[in-house]
Structure 1
């Protein structure tokens, strides 16, 4: 397949995924494979199933050390296994990073959770003026999702490498009313975290990229984490694939530019860095206890895609209540990648679970159900310190 055709196919697949994604009702995970199977065998089976991702890696870290479980390959056509230092697109787990920036600024009294769009960003539509930072972080704002707008999707289809002005992404929905009265419903929206980043910039007069570096990357020692605007991946990297058609998977790692997702999902990182991030973020080590308590006021709502067990939403974090216990974290999916990061509320035990294909309710409902069941199995191993 030519690069041009690959990019057009990728753009079409991404556009379909953006418009077809619907929140999944949080529910218990499906029945797991028999208990005598190892995590390795189960991850192998998930990768090797028809339509499965070419590669997967899970990093489990406890007080007793780190265990890495990997299956498949980092790049089709090679025998290189996925590695902890391989770069990957982290998709909507990037929303936890914008949450970390915003909550750190709240802790420093630079922002307030009750600050409104009208106060911080008066250039935005008057109809949105009452939306608060708290509502943006909890996906209860009512802002329509810019990534599902006809204008955005049409531009992406026309040119997958189109350079969007990341700070003008909300223009695509500027003429649209709120979907509901702010604070009355939960509805996952990529617009929320774009607005969060813009509020942080307005409050500090610094770029979001600088805030991300100063408030998150440096304190948590995330040396392999970046927020690119373009399509190129740093090496080495986990290649992401489109497995939607029969035949060989198509490499879509670099066919889409990241300027159109920015603070909502544009970060590139590694399993090792994501492990460091969630171990700091889940317990709230970047801000004080009172901010953590605000962050953990849960409402009914699932991450996208839904994570293991029963999901509920806090401020840029989700609570995953599994049969073995509770972990906090975030999921994400984008063209070529699906992600889960999770940790115990004290941050002592963590799981980073990454696969190199986009798995959604709309594209592969059975695969998503199976993945959630497998993720729960990994969470149980984590909480039992891997003694399975």
Structure 2
């Protein structure tokens, strides 16, 4: 299995999301304690950082809803963007547990006739962004935002048409390129093999067993109470065609539910050692990042950080854990400005000062 290694900085700034944002210059903040750090970042969202089961910080910052005056808390629900991919990846692992997938090295066309155009691509390559399938978001987002109904199956058809005329971006397994298409296809595959909706399958096999009661599929418009509205500066940009994000950026959750999720996959009860090795059991050189199966693995200051980030209009998210110290870092934000560089600053600063 080939792996593709990148500098930590380049990977932390990758578009790990459903929408893109510009990357400004880095922040430079003198670190005193986590609360002052997030205040100086002018962070809008909710944060949880813990080590060996003890909280370092568990706090909301800024407003969940500027119109109603509701504040962010650790129970506020946020769109989590591409952090959703970690749930989709677990859904694929569950299919293998159920015997519906024989091997992660099966080709997509072997798994379902719908994927006959993807015969060169294995499931492992799909989940590690080594498929060469272009990102579908630029193909459909503008039309979806005008109200056009675009189903996941329609997106699969558009991708097939594009690949038929333009080809893959690269030969599968020879390179890596982050693409939301990989996880939309994975969600459709879950539905095909499980005979259930993607939403129901994730609920029944992940959310309900873990008692993640505040994680749900996102809706086009966000309710006014208990949920963070998404902002770009002072503009509320919450309305988004969530149907096009299935598998890739579709879930809404809270800091406390993401804590449950991180601890579950980090500890020994949820994943077997074999499954952990498949997902992130990779050698990672100092100050580099490797794409695992639905999680990124970074070596920062000689610490292993297993994580995912995400951005979707008005929101930015980060979840991750440090197995050596049982550390958890979760930061969910409802402010779009400078999201990529803020995520980078949080990771590097917190790992250096608290772990």
Name the TM-score, length of structure 1 as normaliser. Answer: 0.77
1:263 alignment partner, SS class: coil
Partner of 1:318: 296
Q: Distance in 2 between matches of 1:221 and 1:329?
A: 21
2:155 alignment partner, SS class: helix
Partner of 2:313: 335
Partner of 2:124: 134
CA, structure 1 residues 45+231, in 2 after alignment: closer, same or farther (shift >3 Å)?
same
CA, structure 1 residues 381+108, in 2 after alignment: closer, same or farther (shift >3 Å)?
farther
Partner of 1:11: none
What aligned pairs does 1:43-62 form with structure 2 within 5 A after superposition?
43-47=38-42, 55-62=44-51
Q: Distance in 2 between matches of 1:251 and 1:105?
A: 38
Gap runs ≥5 in structure 2: 1-16
* 1:71–1:81 CA contact under 8 A, matched in 2: yes
Query: May I ask how many residue pairs the two structures share in their alignment?
Result: 330
Partner of 2:13: none
CA, structure 1 residues 281+347, in 2 after alignment: closer, same or farther (shift >3 Å)?
farther
Partner of 1:12: none
CA, structure 1 residues 231+121, in 2 after alignment: closer, same or farther (shift >3 Å)?
farther
2:323 alignment partner, SS class: coil
Higher relative contact order structure (alpha carbons within 8 Å, sequence separation ≥ 6):
2
Match of 2:146 among 155, 158, 161: 158
Match of 1:250 among 235, 245, 250: 235
2:306 alignment partner, SS class: strand
Q: Distance in 1 between matches of 2:319 and 2:130?
A: 22
What aligned pairs does 1:124-203 form with structure 2 within 5 A after superposition?
124-126=115-117, 128-149=118-139, 152-159=140-147, 162-176=148-162, 177-203=167-193
177-186 or 229-238: which moved more?
A: 229-238
* 2:318–2:343 CA contact under 8 A, matched in 1: no
CA, structure 1 residues 76+310, in 2 after alignment: closer, same or farther (shift >3 Å)?
farther
1:172 alignment partner, SS class: helix
Kindly indicate whether residue 112 of structure 2 is the aligned counterpart of residue 121 of structure 1.
yes
CA deviation vs aligned residue, 1:264-317 (integer Å, no higher than 9, x gap)? 1010111111111111124474332212111125499xxxxxxxx643210001
Partner of 1:14: none
Per the TM alignment, residue 77 of structure 1 is displaced from its structure 2 partner at its CA by 5.2
Partner of 2:329: 351
* 1:341–1:353 CA contact under 8 A, matched in 2: yes
CA deviation vs aligned residue, 1:248-278 (integer Å, no higher than 9, x gap)? x11122x112101011101011111111111
Kindly indicate whether residue 202 of structure 2 is the aligned counterpart of residue 223 of structure 1.
no
Q: Distance in 2 between matches of 1:175 and 1:252?
A: 31
* 2:27–2:345 CA contact under 8 A, matched in 1: yes
1:315 alignment partner, SS class: coil
Name the TM-score, length of structure 2 as normaliser. Answer: 0.83
Alpha-carbon RMSD across the aligned residues, in angstroms, is: 2.7
CA, structure 1 residues 173+60, in 2 after alignment: closer, same or farther (shift >3 Å)?
same
